[in-house]
Amino acid sequence: MSREISLFTDYVQKENRVTNYCGLMMKLVYEESPKRFEELIVNLIQNDIDIPIGPFFSQQIKKNKSIPDLIITQKSISIFFETKLNDWFYSSQIKKHIEGFSDGSDRKILFLLSNFESDNLEQRFAKDFEIAEKNNIILQPLSYEDFINSLEAVAKTEYISNLIEEFKVYLDSRGLLPKWKYLLDVVNCSGTLHEIKDLVYMCPDKGGAYSHRRAKYFAPYKNKGVRAIYEIDAIVIVGKNVAEGTIKWNNSNLKKEHLIKTAKEKILKWDNRIEENKSVPLQVFLLSNPHPTSFLKSTKGGMLQSKKYFWNIAEDVKDSKELANKLNERKWEDFK
């Protein structure tokens, strides 16, 4: 059932609520400035394409049978959004949206909005891009992070900027902003550094102290500091007796089958892990791209817990090398 975008939405489904609030933010930008809204749409498309929105004012333009003194014209534009809380799009639904556009629109855009967990979107939606292009439609996968960034780029008033901050808090509370990309997971690895050198960290999958938030970066702790930064390709849960394997998180473009196979091989290298896995499933962190650093804890005592998170510490870096360089010769206390 269709409804107007509203501040006082009564949608029960989380996906509909998120869609409503995304639409509301764009509506507020438009009401404040149609020109800013035009900039927003161009930013969202992530392509150098002219998207004229609003009326054009011109004069003394010759038409078929007359030359009006003043002409006000406006091109038509249709913008569709398919919004999902999880990265779960399928071609048949996309095709139906493409077929749903009116032939009379001068410009047609279909956004696929979700918290995309991989970067190979061109390959993944290749066939959908082809169908859209044949129908003169711009198809644009879009993450919530990019949506927020584009809103921030056009926000010129304190009112809109404050609303965007509140909206970010809302999206983050629903797990729709990828904060894991900027998170460093520091783990006490005093007894398992030999495994770390083999690009793996393993621990029981039984919750409590062994629970881990999704993170892009991993750092083994020993003797009051971190001496290397790694990237986490994936975390695989391997069932008892190296039986079934499931992907908990995949931060890479590596295939599921390869990750599960690699995780099992890592367990089978160590007799103590084989024995441990007989009684409990294991979380297997598959690591890559190690780079040396010297990131030290300067306060008294060791780690009070088995792990420590550094949030947003990697916002301005693109990989483990840059993060290692950033943290080298720094103290934990420099990052609260």
Q: Are 299 and 168 in contact (CB under 8 A)?
A: no
Contact 157, 164 (CB under 8 A): no
Say how far apart CA 95 and CA 114 lie, in whole Å.
18
Task: Determine how β-strand 77-83 pairs with β-strand 107-114.
Answer: parallel
pLDDT value, residue 9: 58
Specify whether the CB–CB gap between 273 and 283 falls below 8 A.
Answer: no
Bridge-based pairing state of the strands 184-188 and 77-83: unpaired
Contact 208, 284 (CB under 8 A): no
Q: Between 14-32 and 158-173, two packed helices, what is the crossing angle to 10 degrees?
A: 170
Instruction: For 53-62, write each residue's pLDDT tens digit.
Output: 878 888 777 7
Regions of the chain where pLDDT drops below 70: 1-12, 48, 63, 117-119
User: Taking the model in full, what pTM does it have?
Assistant: 0.62
Q: What is residue 3's predicted lDDT score, i.e. its pLDDT?
A: 56
**How far, in Å, CA of 89 to CA of 81, rounded?**
12
Rounded to whole angstroms, the Cα distance separating 112 from 106 reads: 20
What's the confidence (pLDDT) of residue 131?
Answer: 95
Query: Is residue 245 within 8 Å of 237, Cβ to Cβ?
Result: yes
> Which domains does the chain possess?
14-177 (no CATH), 180-334 (2.30.130)
DSSP characters over 98-124: HHTS-TT-SEEEEEEEE----S-HHHH
Query: What pLDDT was estimated at residue 334?
Result: 93
